[in-house]
Structure 1
Amino acid sequence: MRGNLAARMGVWSAHHRKTAIIGWLLFVVLATVAGGASGMVEMSESEQGTGDSARAQKMLDDAGLDRPAGELVLVSSRTAGGWKDTARDLAAAIGKTGEAAKVEPPLASGNDREALIRFEIKGDAKTAADRVQPVLDAVRDTAAGRDGVEVHQFGQASAEKWLGDLLSEDFQKAEFTAVPLALGILLVAFGAVVAALLPVALALTACMAAFGLLSLASHQLHLFQTTYSVMFLMGLAVGVDYCLFYLRRERDERAAGHDADTALRIAAATSGRAVLVSGVTVMMAMAGMFLSGLMLFKGFALATILVVFIAMLGSVTVLPALLAWLGDRIDAGRLPFLNRRKKKGVHESGAIAGAVLKPVLNRPKLFALGAVAVLLVLAAPALGMKTEQLGMEKQFGSDSALSVAHKKITQAFPVGPEPALVVVTADDITAAPVREALAGFDNVTVHAAKNIAEIEVNLPGNGSDDRSEAALAELRDTTVPAAFDGTGAQVRVGGELAESVDFNDQLKRGIVPVFVFITAVTFLLMLLCFRSYVIAVTSILLNLLSVAAAYGVMTAVFQHGWGASALGTEAVGAIEGWMPLFVLVVLFGLSMDYHVFVVSRIREARDRGADTRAAISEGIRRTAGAVTGAAAIMVAVFAVFGTLSMQDMQQMGVGLAVAVLLDATVVRMVLLPSVMALLGERNWRTPRGLRWLPSMEHGEGPPAAGQGRHAAPVPAGR
């Protein structure tokens, strides 16, 4: 019996199951404890951005200039002047907390029915959220019981505090919802409690270890606050799927009449190999995010690579060890009403797949065109996709407390967009040429001791229209260079709008090298795996159709609002700026889960002598149960994230859930078999110049007695 790497790892683990199991547990515990002790380091404001605006913020950071966290409290009354007593009491209560500074007297609106109280939170703005709670309590307690008066608070510290608490609640919601959902689907798939618990336990321990290692790594590569949520999303979905593929194959071989030893060998050599290929493909695809030029994506890349690697490693090491130790006890807790075995012991999961495949293989051209048409129709809205960095009022929905407060404050005291911030540094900021250049601007703050100056420049428009961006471009390209030409000063233009423009520009530049990288990696890995350039090219094309359909659905729901209310969300007129690139990379990686698993099984059948159509039918029917279960788990996990509070999490969850659903149904059940049937023997064509590629076997039959390098029986714990 020829043993591939996965087979050798699986058999070794089964022979040394105590070492494999204890080693895994020690690894998880040590990684978790070390990560918890070190803590996670979040990226700074300048690290979140890119370009000129990030450099402007970095200049301020290096100079130790940090604007205090500003806060606003709006007091609204039904009658003119009805706010006065409440506003006076609120200002006094805020001042008494000891955490507020520069508490300004209430400023009345034009109709005298609203008043605005401005103040700052003392200390470092980066940690202001940790100190704002006494102020929040004072505002709440003072406003309680005031008839005819409404009070709303909004500011940097209160928003960050609210966001932190919300993310914590959302993460707990995701964890406590996604895990039971995955467990329930596995119970249906396996019909036994132990078999269902095993993949979930391995996935959760993989996530725990990855969390710990990521915390350690964050001291070198600072992370965005939602990175842990992204890691958990990927880790649970991929970890459960890998174990499901492996475990399902082992049970299939047992059902086909093989003994436990042989069934485990075959599962290790086939599904174990598919897990390795899929895991490496996912990790390589994720590595493409390092080319984006944004620290946000570098953190996402590191997090997903870590969790996928650990989940893959656990699936081909500790899982075979556990299967060898459990033996027949893997079926403990069997639920009779979920028993899916026939009397002869053969799974029925391919019955529906066979019924679908029959017309598809009889008329492949018709079904291929129909499937492509469906995906293109779904993708059509993506042609009008608009991206932007969603502000807090869009991130949390129009009815959230934060959004309501922001809306009411801006309605009562309308202001233009956040001003552009021009940062000027020089060897001597008070030198005559620099001083003359600064004199040409209003709203200039000079920090002579630090040789740095800040200039606020008001912009027209509402901050998101063409007028604002045109004014910013003129400021950057004409006004500022002309004013400081020959002064020797370094000048950068930042601010909220500049940060958004720079971020989107970098995304547009970065998506090209990322796309080229992941398509090239996918092509090469599929070529190495199947020794067929046709399989490699069709893999990329099918992935692109899935991604395009996901883009279209996201645009239709979240930008245009089609069906948004039915999904419990709302339209915000744009897609979060980082979402298209992230979804592209993740779907390119995850699509390989099913593609490698299904095509490997088709190749197994062909290597045993079946013609292409018979191999397609056998491969898809035999993988239908595992693919359906894996897809159901991924869709369920992603859908949970679609129910969370933040708009970007909703977009990510809905986009990925729809894409995986389409990928596992329209693509794998209709488009893949129809295209492979049309291509026939050309599927397996290897150009002469590439016949030096190693032949990587796709199937392992049971070894003859005494043959093979691993002929010794695998001990089973029965």
Structure 2
Amino acid sequence: MSTIESGAMHRVMTRCGRFTTRHPWPVIAAWLLLAVTVAALVLAFGRPVDEDATLPGSAGQHGRDLLEAHFDGAGNANGQVILRSSGPRLDEPATAAEIARTTARIGDVTHVASVGEPVLGTDGRTGYVDVTLDVGPQELTREMTDEVLDAAETPGLETLPGGALSRAGNGTGHSEAIGVVVALAVLVVAFGGLVAATLPLVTAVIVLVIGIGAIGLAGHLTGIPSVATTLGTMIGLGVGIDYALFLITRYRSLLARGHDVRHAVVGTVASSGSAVVFAGATVVVALCGLGVAGVPILTTLGWTSGLVVLVAVASATTLLPALLTLLGPRIDALPVRSARPGRPSAWGRLADRVIRRPWRYALSSGLLLLVLAAPTLAMTLGQTDAGDRSADSAERAGYDAMAAAFGPGINGPLTLVAELRPAATGPGDPRLAALTGAAAKVPGVARAHPARLAPDGAVASVRVIPDTAPSDPDTLDTAGRLAALDVTGAEVSVTGQTAVRGELATRVGDRMPLVIVVVVLLSGLLVLVAFRAPVVAAKAALMNLLSVAAAYGALTAVFQWGWGARLIGLDGPVPIEAYVPMMLFALLFGLSMDYEVFLLTAVRESWDRTRDNRRAVRDGLAETGVVITSAALIMVCVFASFVLSDEPVIKMMGLGLAVAIAVDATVIRGLLVPAVMTLLGDANWWTPRRRSAPVMSERAG
């Protein structure tokens, strides 16, 4: 008998269910108080984001640390206000005077530390001014950038953001709204009533308020990229709704069997609640595996997403049962159609066909998965830039304007940092001229600015503009040649966002095998603990690897090869961001385990009752097929809605997650898993220390 059906977890969840049925109002009040408190703190203090990539131990990070240690304000946020004229040149007296007034207004904005002199492009109609703020990228908020851009509005000129000013805030509200509307429609079809359909959305909203709010507040303590909030929203909506769906389905089933409300709620929390805890734990464990990569952004995305999953599990096992206790039989109120809970017939017939011809379904579904995964063999990692955004976005317009006027490299400058030994005595040190001259001669460099010397004379820096775009692999080759420069009395390194992200891609590629091994072992161990069946745990890990591979294949085909890229709002192929595949691996492995846990729970219940493997597989698929399909459809719609985002990385996350969940819930759980379990027979449930146990009584209550 599995741990989910008996043992310590079952006992703990039984006590949890009893507590919520005895104290529903205090439980609900506690959740509402927590949500209101978090929301109020967010409104009062904001949700700062930090888009700067850090990579401890890398040469690029070493160079950045040197700059921040030796140059005042080197760690402050820096952006550009881009000015573009469709008429007179910017250097004409009247226009130049207007620009001077604009720069003065920008300088008066709160948090603006300095404003540079206007720089004109070769066409004379495009220029920019550097704007340095007195806060670091982590403290930069959307409100601060809006103040700067509002002050920069200039009559007769188009004003565009660049640098840090273009990265503060990328809303995804339309994606969230679409996901919620589609989820409601699926829930209405699944439950047949408005009350039952609305309840998962209510709990999911509370999960988002608390989970996403907590992530935002954490931005005051550590660097949180904006993608963390978006990813947390995707995961929060998906698992928040799905976990509630599983529990409500079990609750309605127990009511239909004649159980009273309190008994039904306790039984639901003890059985499905235990499964939700194990399912959520697999997601969190998989996300924790990202910590071994040694990449801060992955660690951050891992713990922020895991935090949202924990809130979703807690909500499903406490808040939802409290609401069910108060609703009682009214969970079926406001029906819109005649509901047939479970509706196992179609899935039962499919299970019968698979069980009769397991080899046929195992081979055909396995071949299909291999075809979907085949493009993965050609996957390469890179980095996106603002040039990959939607053509009608302000970020893309600013990027294109700068590239046209100053060359593509202006959007991704490199910084050559030199430690001078002995320290320079002043700006006349010959090593400074040597640094600038050597950098300018490197192949791939468009121009090198004069070297700057730190006040203590120990460090010098040269701003280098490559002749290729930030996302172009040739730019990283240029950075490598700069790092190899040999200047007497100077030890050089290359930094800048482009250089650091290039090193990040290399580290991710090197650490990917280790992360895969750790995540697979930890998740498989958790399944082993839950079901006490080594073969089932190993099979679950293999099946999840196939769903991840299918997602990688879709990423490669759509983003790297450009198949259908225009259909999702891209102009063509874009690089696959280095950290996306590793992040997707952990997420998808955990989420796929969710469905595996729910399916195996039903199969194991039938096995313990009948000791007939074929019947157990058939009963498990027939019982959970509709529920898993409905849950997966909700997740797919939620994830797919985020493909509408202007941010390519969000598109990658949304598409990868949607494809993997769709494949997992249909081809893998509907065909491959039952076929393989049928072929394995009683070996599924082999354990080195097999012990007989009384049949679980939960199904009777």
Fold-level similarity (TM above 0.5): yes
CA distance in structure 1 between the partners assigned to 2:482 and 2:148 by the alignment: 38
Q: Deviations 1:138-190 (Å, cap 9, x if unpaired)?
A: 7755227xxxxxx4645225423xx52xx13x2x2233222222222212211
Partner of 1:368: 362
Partner of 1:414 in structure 2? 407
Q: Secondary structure at 2:416's aligned position in 1?
A: strand
Secondary structure class of the residue paired with 2:494 = strand
Distance 1:291 1:232 in 2: 24
**Aligned pair in 2 of structure 1 residues 70, 129: CA closer, same or farther (>3 Å)?**
farther
Q: 1:283, 1:670 → 2: CA distance? A: 27
Aligned pairs for 1:1-80 within 5 A: 3-34=10-41, 36-43=43-50, 45=52, 47=54, 51-63=58-70, 64-66=72-74, 69-76=79-86
Amino acid at match of 2:18: V
Q: 1:716 corresponds to which residue?
A: none
Counting only pairs closer than 5 Å after superposition, residues 35-434 of structure 1 correspond to structure 2 as 36-43=43-50, 45=52, 47=54, 51-63=58-70, 64-66=72-74, 69-76=79-86, 87-88=95-96, 91-95=99-103, 97-99=105-107, 101-104=115-118, 106-109=120-123, 114-121=124-131, 123-124=133-134, 126=136, 127=140, 136=149, 142-143=155-156, 151=158, 153-156=160-163, 158-160=165-167, 163-164=168-169, 167-168=170-171, 170=172, 172-335=173-336, 338-341=337-340, 347=341, 349-394=343-388, 396-414=389-407, 416=409, 418-425=412-419, 429-430=423-424
Specify whether residues 469 and 24 from structure 1 end up closer, same or farther in structure 2 by C-alpha distance, changes over 3 A only.
closer
Deviations 1:465-506 (A, max 9, x none): 565434432432x42xx435xx5x765321344222211122
Q: 1:184 to 1:464 in 2, by over 3 A?
A: closer
Distance in 1, Cα, partners of 2:141 & 2:280: 41
Aligned to 2:390, the other structure's residue is in SS state coil
Counterpart residue identity of residue 32, structure 2: L
Q: CA deviation at 1:638?
A: 0.5
What letter is aligned with 1:368? A
**Percent same amino acid among aligned pairs?**
31
Tell me if the contact between 1:46 and 1:58 (Cα under 8 Å) persists in the aligned partners: no
1:712 maps to none
Q: Which residue of 1 aligns with 2:513?
A: 512
Q: CA deviation at 1:563?
A: 2.2
Equivalent residue number for residue 582 of structure 1: 583
Question: Structure 2: how far apart are the matches of 1:672 and 1:349?
Answer: 21
Q: 1:646 to 1:107 in 2, by over 3 A?
A: closer
What's the CA shift string for 1:428-458, capped at 9, x where partnerless?
Answer: 63269x9554442113111234743212355
Q: How far, CA to CA, are the matches of 2:262 and 2:125 in structure 1?
A: 77
User: How many angstroms does 1:682 deviate by?
Assistant: 0.6
- Output the TM-score relative to the length of structure 2: 0.87
CA separation of 1:419/1:136 partners in 2, compared to 1, >3 Å: closer, same or farther?
closer
Encode CA deviations 1:221-247: one digit per residue, 9 max, x unaligned: 321122111111111111111111011
Report the equivalent of 2:460.
453
Report the alpha carbon displacement of residue 593 of structure 1 after superposing the two structures with TM: 1.4
Between 1:84-93 and 1:357-366, the stretch displaced more is: 84-93
Q: Structure 2: any 5+ residue segments left out of the alignment?
A: 108-113, 437-449
Change (3 A) 1:409 1:85: farther
Report the residue type matching 1:104 in the other structure.
P
CA RMSD of aligned residues (A): 3.2
Give, in whole Å, the separation in 1 of the partners of 2:81 and 2:465. 20
AA partner of residue 97 (structure 1)? R
Structure 2 contact 90–126 (Cα < 8 Å) conserved: no
After superposition, give the CA deviation of every residue in 1:77-96 in whole Å (9 maximum; x if it has no partner): 5xx97995885465355345
Take 2:281 and 2:699, find their aligned partners in 1: how far apart are those partners?
25
For residue 444 of structure 2, what is the aligned residue in structure 1?
A: none
Q: Which residue in 1 is equivalent to 2:445?
A: none
CA contact (8 A) 1:393 1:403 kept: yes
Is 2:176–2:642's contact at 8 Å kept on the other side of the alignment?
Answer: no
Asked if the contact 1:419–1:495 (Cα under 8 Å) also holds between the matched residues in 2, the reply is yes
Contact 2:348 2:622 in 1 (8 A): yes
Distance 1:437 1:697 in 2: 81
1:487-636 counterparts in 2 under 5 A? 487=489, 491-636=492-637
Measure the CA separation in 2 of the matches of 1:41 and 1:200.
27
How many Å separate the matches in 2 of 1:86 and 1:562?
A: 49
Separation of aligned partners in 2, 1:52 and 1:221: 22
Amino acid at match of 2:102: I
SS of match in other structure, 2:85: strand
Describe the shift of the 1:102–1:6 C-alpha distance in structure 2 as closer, same or farther (beyond 3 A).
closer
Deviations 1:554-593 (A, max 9, x none): 1111221212333444433321222101110110111111
Deviation at 1:302, TM superposition (A): 1.9
Q: Gapped runs of 5+ residues in structure 1?
A: 145-150, 342-346, 704-718
Alignment partners' CA distance in 2, 1:444 and 1:39:
38
Count of aligned residue pairs for this structure pair: 668
1:38-74 deviation line (CA, Å, top 9, x unaligned)? 5445347364786221222222223323385333323
